Structures are given as C-alpha cells and as structure tokens.
Chains A and B, each alone.
Chain A
Amino acid sequence: MNERIIEKLSILADAAKYDASCSSSGGKRKNVDKGLGNAEGMGICHSYTEDGRCVSLLKILLTNHCIFDCAYCVSRKSNDVKRAAFTVEEVVDLTMNFYRRNYIEGLFLSSGIFSSPDYTMERLVRICKKLRTEERFNGYIHLKTIPGASEELIQEAGLYADRLSVNIELPSELSLQALAPEKNYAEILTPMGQIQSKVAASREERELFKKAPQFAPAGQTTQLVVGASPETDHQIIQLTDSLYKGYGLKRVYYSGYVPVSGDQRLPQVVQPPLMREHRLYQSDWLMRFYGFDADEILDPAHPHLDLEIDPKLAWALRHRHVFPVDVNTADYELILRVPGVGMKSAKRIVAARRFAPLTLDHLHKFGVVLRRARYFITCRGMALEKREYDEQTVRRKILYGDGSTRSALVKRQLDLFAPEPTIVTAPDLVSPQLDLFRQAG
C-alpha cells in the first residue's frame, strides 16, 4: 500500500513539474472557527529544489492518463510513460498531512484529460469541495481549469479554489494547431473570459454584501511554453500585454521548453532556454511594476530580447536622450527607469531626499548598483562620468569593465557552443494572432 502511494506521488509530481506556476500569494483565506490553515496574502516558499525553484504547493496531477496528444507535453497520449491516478481521498489525505507538517502552503491540482473534460473537471472540483467543507481546510488551492469544461463546473471550482488558471500553452494559435491539435485558442480564451467576469461579478457583489461568496479571490493566471515554437520575444510580450489588459490576469508564467520528447514536430534542443525565459520574466516585471509599455520593451525592428543585457538597460541605451536624471530632483517614475536602480532603492531615494540632499555614498548604501547607474544619473547636478560615451561603449564598459560580473546564467548560455535551436520555419507560422486578444480589451 505504502509503496503504491509513493510510486503514484513520484509519477504524478514528476508529470506536473513542468508547470512553472508556484505562487501561493494573493490568497487571504482566514482561519474560521479553529479549522486548519490561514493565509495572509503573502506566499511562502517552504523549500527549494536543486534547480533553485520554489516549492510552495503540493503540485500534482490527479492523473497523467490523457486522451490528448500535445507534442510538448510529457503526458501526451503517444508517449510511452508509466501512468497512474490518485483517488479523491488520496489527494485529500496527502494535502492535509503535508500541510499539517508545514511542508506546503496548499494544493496545486491539475490533471490529464481522461474520458472527457467535464468528467475530469468534476473530479478536481470534488477534491476541492471535500477539502473545504469536510476537512475545513483554509490553505491555498490553485486549480487548473480543464479546457472544454462546462461553465457550471468552473463556477463551482471558483467557489472553493483561491486561484484558477487556464494555460494558453503556446504563444500563437498556429503553433497550438501544429503542436496541440486537439486544442484551440477559443477553448482556452472562453473559460478565461468566464473566470474574469465571475471574479469581477463576485467583487462587485461583495462590495454590496460582505457575505457574498468569493470567486477565485487570488485571481487567474496562465502559462506558455517558450522555445518549442518559432514566435519572437516581441510576439510573446505583445501577447502577455494583451492577456494582462484584456483578461485581468495576475501572472503570466513562461516555461522554457525542457526537451521531454523526441516528437518530430518539435525543435531538438540541448538545453532549455533559461536565459531567454529569465529576460522574459524581467520584461514582464517591467510592465507590471516599472511602468513600461509593451511597445517600449521591443518593437518589430527589435523583435528579440538581448540575452547579454537586461531589458531595462537595453531600453536606457536606446533612449540616451532621457538621461541623465538627477536623483535629488527627478520623479519616482523616472528614477525607476535608471539601470541599476530597483523598486526598493528608488523608494528609498525619494523618501530620504526629503531630509537631506543625497550624495553618491547614500546611493551606494541604498543598494543602487552604481556600476550600471553611473552612466545615467547626476547627483546634485554633477555627473559621475567625465565624458559622455556612446551606446556601444557604455554597453561594453558595463558588460566587461571593472567589477563586471556576468550572471552565471549568461555565462552558461553564451559560453555554450550549442547554437540556438534550429527551427524549421514555415513563414505563415510566424504571423501573430494578436488581434484575437484585442477584442476583450
């Protein structure tokens, strides 16, 4: 018995691990009447795997049996892997006992599609319901919505789960057609739109009646696989932007494609594109926290993110006319755009300069990376560099100059002689399907 459950957990955790979402934040489910679990809105990473990713939730599939055959997915029908399935009771027992030992923040449940989308979704919902009503579990629940599941089941899911997500899977519909023939954007975007309106409706209701039921209080997210299809970074960022604006998503996750199959439809890559994934996340942060527009990060003339330098530095180098900015007088929004200045140091700068004019020493102590910032700021009217350098010189000085430390990722990816994945590009495959997303905007 024990052996079997250990094996099941091994198989079904292994199959779920390529989903990049790990966050447990945004849930503010209070412990009521001495049940189990309480969340304050801030997620907790209880452990970290050896690849450095956070382990916050028990992330498993209910089953890896699947009737679909998506090329990039390890659980696809045609893949010869060991299959397993949990019972509803097993998932509940694991979740409760892991949570009681402070291993996890909660459950992230997804599943392969067996029989039919509704049949699968009904099982997932049943697990959530049992946890909430019978076990009085107030921990975090992230539920994957099965594409094609009925609206009634989605409605019920949102009442028990903190967060729902539908994966957009690939950055364009054409790629989806090529790699996941049973899926299409309409089936993905329809539930996304339904969730969005249900979340909004529940918020409105709760403003009128405090006791009205909450629907997915931590909102919805999605994920897409990067590097399994030929879209440019520009297309991906535009897509992300339209998802944030059009569907009110909390997060878009990017999962660098890890070769899980020898499928003919896929590029044969040696290494997952970790650096590209990292730069996409940086761009995502720029859009969500640094006031950048998608169009500022990349445009059709610059369709790819620079792997050597971060997107904020790249933007600053392309916009030298904006700089230098003076740290003692410039607006917060502008200080935030200086390479080497993060949100924390920007906040410290504008808070502290109310008391006294800031010096270089202060900036250093606030955590500003002067090695990068020095080319873009003045301090009490004084420049830090005696002369003005052109774009290429600044870039070179920052990358290779004194004290430059190229991140381990850059080194690993750029020093690898493995070339970028060669992708057989059918020209029509590249055209973006972005108009699709604009409609809800």
Chain B
Amino acid sequence: MKKPRPTSLARRAPGLPAQPSVTSLRAGGALPLGFDAAARFTYDGSFDGLLSVLLTCWQLRRWPEAIAPEGAAQGGLFSETHSVPTDEAQARRVWEGLLRHMPGEARTNLYKTFLSERPDRELLIFRYVQLAIQAAGQDISENFADDTVRTVAEINKQLFREKHRMEAFVRFERTQDGLFHASIEPDFDVLPLIAEHFTKRYADQRWLIFDRRRRYGLYYDLQRTDVVSFDRAVEAVAAGGSAVSAAVLDEREPLFQVLWQAYFDHVNIPERKNVKLHRRHMPKRYWRYLTEKQPRERQFRPIANKNNTAAG
C-alpha cells in the first residue's frame, strides 16, 4: 500500500471526553511579532481544513485564540470569528512548506497530534509550528523544557501506545467466505496509523478492521488497503453473500476460539498471580473484543502436574 497522505484519511472529529488544555494562548498579553490582533477560527474538522486555517492565520496576521471544528466552536463575546473553507491545494502547500521549518518526523508528529482528538490539538499544532518558525532552522523537537513541545511529545507517546495496543489486541474472526474481520474501539483515531502494519503482515488474507466508535474501517482486498465507511464495510463482508449481522463464521472458527482460550488459561501460573499487573497491561476497556476474555463455555480444569496434588 502506498503510504497515505494524511489528508486523504483526515476525518471529522467526533467529540471525545475533554482533556485539560496545556497551552496558554498568549504569552503575557502582548501578541508575538507578525500578528495584529487575536481571532477565533472554525473549520470543517479535517486535517486539510486545519492546514488551511494555519495559512489564514499568517495571511490575516491574526493570532488564533481558538480553533475548533464548526459546531463544536463556542463564540467569543468580543472577538472576531473566521470560518475558513478547506482548500486542498493550499493545504498541500502548507504541508510541504512545513518541511522548511522542521524535520519530517516532527511534521508526522503534528499529524498524530491531530489524530489524538484532544480539544486543544489545533492550538497545540499552531503553537508548535509558530515555535519552529521562530527557531529559524534549529530543530525544536527535543526542547522538552517548552510546554508545547513536551505536550506534543507526550501525545505522540500516547498515540504510539494506542497504535501498538491495536496491533496487539485486534482479534480476527474468519467468515465462511474467508474474510478475517475485527472490531475495535481505540482511545484515539489510530486506524490510519495501523494500516501499514496489517497490510504488510496479513498479505495473503482478506481482512477488515472496523472502528465502532468512529464508524469507519480499513479493508484489504488482497491488492490494497482502503479506508471504508460503514456502508462499504457491510458490502465488503457481504461480498461472499453474507451480511455483517448474519455473517456466518467459518466452521472451524469456534474451535480456534476455544483453543485460544484454553491456551490462555493454561499458560497462566497461579502461584504468580498478579491481577494488578495483568490489568495495567491489558486495561478492562479492551476486554470486550478480546477472545480470551470472553466467558468460557466449559469450566477451566487445571492440569494435575504435581505429585503432591491429589489427582495425579
């Protein structure tokens, strides 16, 4: 699969639980050089839209007091508000232009910051770009003493962890027509980040990973991986004549689920029981889609393997 240009995957931001904002908007009240006044901005919620906002800020010499997707924005009493239309060509220019101020990795980190869905993500991205421009060629990505830089680094750590978790916790089920499908509900919008991993790894099977919270998925058809909407996801599953709801599992699917559960039960060492550690590594919110955390059809019977246990 060719590496997706982030903008093609950029999606509307669904409202996630709010997290406290870390960036202060204006240092000490005075506006930085190059800005005449403060203003509020709204956009369509796509990454391209945000890049268009960034350009507008500098063009209008307006320091963004708030940047929010339309609908989610709260109007300020006295400040002017600009609704910025998304311009893909402009967005591409900004995206290319960022490389003049930061290394590619830092730029990718800004895209990941966007995927975090934090309510202050837009201002963080603006602040970061502003800092990079001010630094005039010096790479700021390791300046952890700065709140914005450190917050972006921390968000990226969280995103990385969630991406890694999804690479671990996806559980495919095989349907009769050979599609492997899985549902997930990640904390952040990480589907665009895991596409490459699954495409490389499962190159010889059709698969579909569906994000139930954000209602879109990734579908690999043995040729390429595409972002698919809910309707397309249903179609993909139905390609073999079955629909998602009535998807008939492969006849050996239940057996492998039972085998996996049996394996999971038997590799545990009861003498080392440490539930706290277990939950730290595998938080409860992920259990819903984990085969090994589903109720057992039959009760677990330990293997009698000690000659001091009664049943030898």
Contact flag A100-B174 (CB < 8 Å), given A49-B268, A356-B145? yes
Q: Is A14 an interface residue (CB 8 A)?
A: yes
The interface bits of chain B over 267-290 (1 if a CB of A lies within 8 angstroms of the residue's CB, else 0) are 111111111111011100000001
Q: Is B305 an interface residue (CB 8 A)?
A: yes
A52 touches B258 (CB 8 A): no
A352 touches B144 (CB 8 A): yes
A11, A37, A102, most chain B CB atoms within 10 A: A102
Question: Smallest CB–CB gap between A335 and chain B, Å?
Answer: 14
Q: How far is the CA of A241 from the CA of B129 in the complex (A)?
A: 48
A10 touches B272 (CB 8 A): no
The residues in A between 18 and 62 inclusive whose CB is less than 8 angstroms from any CB of B are 18, 31, 34-38, 40, 44-55, 58-59
User: Chain A's interface: helix, strand, loop or mixed, by majority?
Assistant: loop
Q: Is B87 an interface residue (CB 8 A)?
A: no
Residues of A within 8 Å of B202, CB to CB, are 36, 100, 102
Q: Is A351 an interface residue (CB 8 A)?
A: yes
Q: Is B95 an interface residue (CB 8 A)?
A: no
The interface bits of chain A over 347-367 (1 if a CB of B lies within 8 angstroms of the residue's CB, else 0) are 010011011101000100110
Question: Smallest CB–CB gap between B161 and chain A, Å?
Answer: 12
A348 touches B267 (CB 8 A): no
A15, A58, A136, A352, most chain B CB atoms within 10 A: A352
Q: How far is the CA of A356 from the CA of B305 in the complex (A)?
A: 61
Residues of B within 8 Å of A15, CB to CB, are 303, 305
A102 touches B172 (CB 8 A): yes
Mark the stretch among B25-33, B40-48, B113-121, B163-171 that contacts chain A: B163-171
Q: Is A81 an interface residue (CB 8 A)?
A: yes
Q: How far is the CA of A256 from the CA of B274 in the complex (A)?
A: 15
A45 touches B263 (CB 8 A): no
Question: Smallest CB–CB gap between A30 and chain B, Å?
Answer: 8
The interface bits of chain B over 120-144 (1 if a CB of A lies within 8 angstroms of the residue's CB, else 0) are 0000000000000000000010111
Q: Is A101 an interface residue (CB 8 A)?
A: yes
Residues of A within 8 Å of B303, CB to CB, are 10-11, 14-15, 81-82
Q: Name B266's contact: one of A13, A48, A74 (CB within 8 Å).
A: A13
17 CB contacts below 8 A, A to B, read: A2-B258, A6-B258, A11-B303, A14-B302, A34-B203, A36-B202, A46-B168, A48-B277, A51-B274, A51-B277, A53-B272, A55-B267, A100-B172, A100-B180, A262-B307, A351-B142, A355-B143
Known: A46-B169, A259-B306, A260-B306. 12 other contacts (CB 8 A): A2-B255, A13-B266, A13-B267, A16-B267, A35-B203, A46-B168, A48-B278, A82-B304, A94-B259, A101-B260, A258-B269, A262-B306
Question: Residues of B at under 8 Å CB distance from A?
Answer: 140, 142-146, 150, 164, 167-174, 180, 182, 197, 200-205, 222, 252, 255-256, 258-260, 262-278, 280-282, 290-292, 302-308, 312
Question: Residues of A at under 8 Å CB distance from B?
Answer: 2, 5-6, 9-11, 13-18, 31, 34-38, 40, 44-55, 58-59, 74, 79-82, 94, 97-98, 100-103, 136, 256, 258-262, 271-272, 274, 348, 351-352, 354-356, 358, 362, 365-366, 408
